[in-house]
Amino acid sequence: MRNLWKYTGPIFDAHTHIRSIETTSKMIAIEDEHGVSKQIGIVHDEEGFKKTKEQYPSRFVFAKYLSLSDIAQYNVEPVLDEISELLDQGYSMAKTWFGPRWRDFIENVPRDFRINHPNLYPIYEALEDNDIPLIIHVSDPDTYYLSQYRDSEKYGFKDDHLRELENVLSRYNKLRVQIPHLGAQPEIHRLSHLSGWLDKYPNVVLDTASSRWMARELSKDTKKAREFMITYSDRVLFGTDVFGGRGEREYYSGRYLAQRILWETDERNTPLPIPDADTVKTGGTFINGLDLPLDVLRKLYWENADRIYSALS
Ligand SMILES: [Zn+2]
């Protein structure tokens, strides 16, 4: 039934994760079937990074995953060292991750930790001075705050997390920032706030990583979602968040399929082709397609990421 997609050009996946070369090669083989020919690879394995770079010389823009345990303890020096070396090592970008569950893994976090604490300013300054784009993941779906992050004493509140990030954006207005997961605000009631960010901070772009989060939330009001995607069509980059070694063929394929249905079709109530733990108890997740115009799809899948990042690879 879906043998012809509206968009038939190449895909730049602006959010993937790299581990060993074996798992990366398997991931690439499946990506190829889905038209992905360029991607940002966030590196979690040094050895895998070196081999990937050798075997796939111009496919990747590599992002260095900055040490969370150091950042979380305001241990700035080692992070500044990482930043000063990363371009020479073959990376072009940096990535930091602050999904609130980071507090489950890191010990001795200062009580006042926040990503916009003055102790961390030198990190943002170093990235800005060296014109190294930063992918910064802050916050998580609303659904998580209602379930696994109920302990707000420990995990904090979503609006506070977003405010901290906005404070960073406003301080470093030359730092090139990519905020994954549509700025962690694909929930329909958050889109107007997100529009405000894009209007105020021209240095910010978003990616669409997490097919299930995007599909679940944007499908709830296709009119508003479609309007947002068209208005900010120069600022949103296609991304999947696929992780080398995380699963088998269906894991990868399902993620591409879910987004293609969402962005390209006018289907209604199509079951999400991947599991969604957040809705198993409430009847499941269904996709309502946004049927985006072809010129918007071209920017989303390829042109935006190509314009912003291809010179870096
Ligand atoms: Zn990710």
Which residues place a Cβ less than 5 A from the ion ligand 1?
241
- Confidence band of 2 (pLDDT split at 50, 70, 90): low
What's the 241 CA to ligand 1 centre distance in angstroms? 5
- Confidence band of 245 (pLDDT split at 50, 70, 90): confident
Residue-wise pLDDT tens digits, 207-238: 999 999 999 999 999 999 999 999 999 999 99
The confidence score (pLDDT) of residue 114 equals: 97
What's the 82 CA to ligand 1 centre distance in angstroms? 20
Query: Strand order in 93-98's β-sheet?
Result: 236-237, 204-207, 177-179, 134-138, 93-98, 60-65, 36-43, 11-18, 242-243
The mean predicted confidence, pLDDT, of the chain is 95
The amino acid present at 137, given as its one-letter code, is H
What's the 3 CA to ligand 1 centre distance in angstroms? 29
In angstroms, the Cα distances linking 249 to 26, 35, 69, 152 are: 9, 15, 33, 37
CATH superfamily of 11-312: Metal-dependent hydrolases (3.20.20.140)
- Confidence band of 84 (pLDDT split at 50, 70, 90): very high
Listed in sequence order, the residues at least 6 apart from 156 whose beta carbon sits closer than 8 Å to its beta carbon are 100, 149
Listed in sequence order, the residues at least 6 apart from 179 whose beta carbon sits closer than 8 Å to its beta carbon are 135, 136, 137, 138, 165, 204, 205, 206, 207
Strand partners, 12: 38
What's the 174 CA to ligand 1 centre distance in angstroms? 23
pTM beyond 0.95: yes
